[in-house]
Amino acid sequence: MQDHIQLDQKQINDDLLAGVLGMPKWWLPAVLFLTLVVFAGLGSFGYMMNKGLGVTGLNRPVMWGFFIVNFVFWIGISHAGIMISAILRLTQAEWRRPVTRAAEVMTVFSLMAALHTPLFHVGRPWREMWVFPYDFARGVWPNVRSPFVWDPSAVGTYLIASSLFVFIALIPDLAVIRDRAVNPLVKKIYGTMCLGWRGTPRQWKLQAVAGILLSALVLPVFVSVHSIVSWDFAVLIGVEGWHSTIFAPYFIIGAIHSGVSAVAMLMALSVWLWGLDKYLRPDHFDAIGRLLIVVATTWFFFFFLEWVFALYTLEGVEISLRELQVFQWPYGMLFLIFLATAFFIPVPMWMFKSVRRSAFWMFFTTLLVNVGMWLERFLIIIPGLVRRQPFTFDWGTYHPSIIEILIVAETFAFVALGMLLFSKFFPLIPIFDIKEGMVVRDEIKIGRRIVPATIRE
């Protein structure tokens, strides 16, 4: 990082805990607004439970709509946390330091948001517990051959794992809050949460080992989660376009694409909302921009392969599905928007250093990516179902109802609300990690040039 600012520990504490120990003016109104949206969504859910799924736009043959699109979308976003923090930790990338916590927390909240939608979608959510093997009385056990049983096991594992990951990395920072808090009750609460952290060499060493070990363990879970979500679609042979072997990696790389983009958005928001521009430097945006070029290009290659092999079959039904996706209203328009926003606008823009180093442009381009990736899921799920099959006796097309739109809005508000509440109680940038970055920073003088350097053990 060339434009680095060296800060002392007190300054770091003050900056990064400003949102925790104080309260920004906009915080309360924002939280109130988001709470309102969440309640509107929950209200619609209550109404839907009462009236039945008929109040949604779902109808034969399109039985998977906005809910499932949204489920896949949020699972995708949730992949950013582990992607950023685990991979960058394992590769010892210095620029990870201010980014990891926010990304991990976003993982947790977006996973919760993802869990909402299938729960709502099943119509009788109280029966959802049948995926767990608890029915000792009647001897009816879940069918492990169904991907819908794999889903909760994978998402549950991932949620538990990422929550624990966040907690472990939070302990040293909780101790910082404990030491700063004025109110004795608050002090007591944080003191309990940080489990009596003192900062001995043993504790720091374990913290470092834990970061690496947990990263290595969470990474395989992260890969499995979206693979399993993709198999909800891909193991089926009934719907054209779904039964493709590339689905698992394709979903993963798409998830990384949208997730890393979401992290970039979060970084820009942190700079604007909390004024953390001393910690999130243009270099950080530059690094994530470079990463995104690689991710987006890889994603595009997978997208290309998926298409090539659909056309390769030369089977009429498959090709007519692709025609529906590309040439028929409204999917054709959505397809164009999807391609433009997910790849063709942002990637050429990221080629320019000035775009990569600007918080505004990174926010703008990554927002586009997320619009595009949401549409991608829509275009995978809906056209496949809309298509007329030989034995389809009833078909309509799909229009989301206001209930579905409200519930989708609720998931977005839920994640935003979660992040805001978290930021009120815990620092969104890992304090100890930033401090460590300051300690291990060094420079090497070569002739007239000073090269930034890092101390490695």
Partner 1 sequence: MASGHAEHPGNPALVTAEDVTKDLLGKHEGTSNNFWRVASVFGILLILGIIGFVMRLSDGVSDTAVWGYYAAMFAFILTTAQSAPMVAIAPRIAKAHWRRPISRVAELWTVVGLFNLLLFIPMLWILPPLSDGRRSLWFYFDGGDVPSYSPHIWSTLAILGLVVIGVALLWMSALPDFAMVRDHAPDGWKKRWATRLARGWIGSSAQWNMQKHRLGILGAFYFMMLIFVHFLISVDFLITLVPGWVDSLFPITHAANGLQAGVATVLLTIWALYKFGGYKDYIAFDQIWALGKLLFALSLLWFWFWFSSFNIFWYGGKPEEQAIIELLMSGPYRWAFFGVFFFNFLFPMWTMMWNPLRRSTWGPPIIAASVLIGTFLDRIRLYVSAYSIDGIGNPAINKHVVVEIPETIYPSLADIFIMLGALGGMVFIFLMATRLIPIVNIWEQRELKLYEIHKTFHRTVVKVLGKPD
Partner 2 sequence: MFAKRSVIGLYTDEEAAASALDALREAGYDQGEYEVLTGTPYPEGTFGEEEPKHTLYRWPLIGAACGFIVGLVLTSGTQLAYPLVTGGKPVLSIPPMTIIMYEGTMLGAIIFTVIGILIESRLPRLFMGAYDERITEGYIGVTVTTSEERVGTAEEVLNASGAEEVKRGWENN
Distance in angstroms (rounded) separating the CA atoms of residues 325 and 387: 10
The answer to whether 181 and 194 have CB atoms below 8 angstroms apart is no
- Please, what sign has the CA dihedral across residues 241, 242, 244, 247? positive
Distance CA 415, CA 413 (A): 6
401 contact choice in partner 2, partner 1, none (CB below 5 to 8 Å, kind-dependent): none
Residues within window 356-415 making contact with partner 1, judged by CB under 8 A: none
CA separation for the pair 160, 252 (Å, rounded):
20
**Contact partners, residue 311, CB within 8 Å, separation at least 6:** 318, 319, 322
Considering the rule CB under 8 A, would residue 238 count as an interface residue with partner 2?
no
Give 247 or 350: the residue with its C-beta nearer to partner 1: 247
Tell me which stretch binds partner 1 (CB under 8 A): 111-119, 183-191, 229-237, 345-353. 229-237
Residue 3 binds partner 1, judged by CB under 8 A: no
In the list partner 2, partner 1, none, the entry touching 91 (Cβ below 5 to 8 angstroms by class) is partner 1
| Residue 453 touching partner 1 (CB under 8 A) | yes
Listed ranges 93-101, 199-207, 254-262, 421-429: which one lies at the site for partner 2 (CB under 8 A): 199-207
Which does residue 272 bind out of partner 2, partner 1, none, counting CB within 5 to 8 angstroms by kind? none
The CB-of-5 to partner 2 minimum distance in angstroms stands at 16
Is 139 within 8 Å of 299 (Cβ atoms)? no
Instruction: Bin 196: left if φ > 0, else alpha if -120 < ψ < 50, else beta.
Output: left
- If one counts every other C-beta atom within 10 angstroms of the C-beta of residue 296, the result is 23
Residue selected from 4, 187, 243, 424 as contacting partner 1 according to rule CB under 8 A: 243
Q: Which is nearer to partner 2, 218 or 324 (CB)?
A: 218
Q: How far apart are CA 390 and CA 316, in angstroms?
A: 12
Q: Which stretch binds partner 2 (CB under 8 A): 221-229, 335-343, 351-359, 408-416?
A: 221-229
Pick from 157, 164, 285: nearest CA to 224: 157
State which of positions 139-168 bind partner 2 (CB under 8 A): 139-146, 149-150, 153-154, 156-157, 160-161, 164, 167-168
Q: How far is CA 260 from CA 142, 215, 363, 373, 419, in A?
A: 35, 17, 12, 12, 16
In terms of Cα–Cα distance, which of 121, 107, 118 is closest to 158? 107
Nearest distance from C-beta of residue 232 to partner 2, angstroms: 12
Of residues 117-136, which lie at the interface with partner 2 (CB under 8 A)?
133
For residues 188 and 174, what is the distance between their CA atoms, to the nearest angstrom?
11
Using CB under 8 A, count the residues that bind partner 1.
Answer: 41
C-alpha of 4 from chain center: 28
Using CB under 8 A as the binding rule, whether residue 352 contacts partner 1 is answered as no
Options 248, 287, 369, 381; binder of partner 1; rule CB under 8 A: 248
Q: Which one of 3-11, 19-27, 54-62, 235-243 is the stretch in contact with partner 1 (CB under 8 A)?
A: 235-243
* Pair 396, 143: CB distance under 8 Å: no
Burial class (CB in 10 A: 0-12, 13-18, 19+), 49: middle
Amino acid at 67: F
2 lies in the binding site for partner 2 (CB under 8 A): no
Site string for partner 2, 393-432 (x = CB under 8 A): ---------------------------------------x
**234 token code pair:** 């891909």
Kindly write out the interface string for residues 174-213 of this chain, putting x where it contacts partner 1 by CB under 8 A and - elsewhere. ----------------------------------------
Distance CA 234, CA 216 (A): 27
180 touches partner 2 by CB under 8 A: yes
**Rounded Cα distance, 454 and 439, in Å:** 9
Distances in Å between the alpha carbon of 428 and those of 102, 109, 267? 5, 13, 10
> Which entry of partner 2, partner 1, none binds 149, CB below 5 to 8 A by partner kind?
partner 2
Q: Scan residues 272-331 and list those touching partner 2 (CB under 8 A).
A: none
Kindly state whether residue 439 participates in binding partner 2, applying the rule CB under 8 A: yes
* Element (DSSP H or E) covering residue 274: helix 247-274
Q: Which stretch binds partner 2 (CB under 8 A): 38-46, 137-145, 321-329, 399-407?
A: 137-145
Q: Residue 183 has which token pair?
A: 């109110």
91-110: contacts with partner 1 (CB under 8 A): 91, 94
Give me the helix-helix angle, 282-312 and 247-274, nearest 10°: 160
Q: Using the rule CB under 8 A, is 88 a contact of partner 2?
A: no
Does residue 326 touch partner 1 according to CB under 8 A?
A: no
Regarding 291 and contact with partner 1 (CB under 8 A), the answer is no
Residue 305 binding partner per list partner 1, partner 2, none, with a CB distance cut-off of 5 to 8 Å that depends on partner kind:
partner 1
By the criterion CB under 8 A, which residues form the site for partner 2?
8-10, 13, 133, 139-146, 149-150, 153-154, 156-157, 160-161, 164, 167-168, 171, 175-176, 179-180, 195-210, 213-214, 217-218, 220-221, 224, 228, 432, 435-436, 438-440, 455, 457
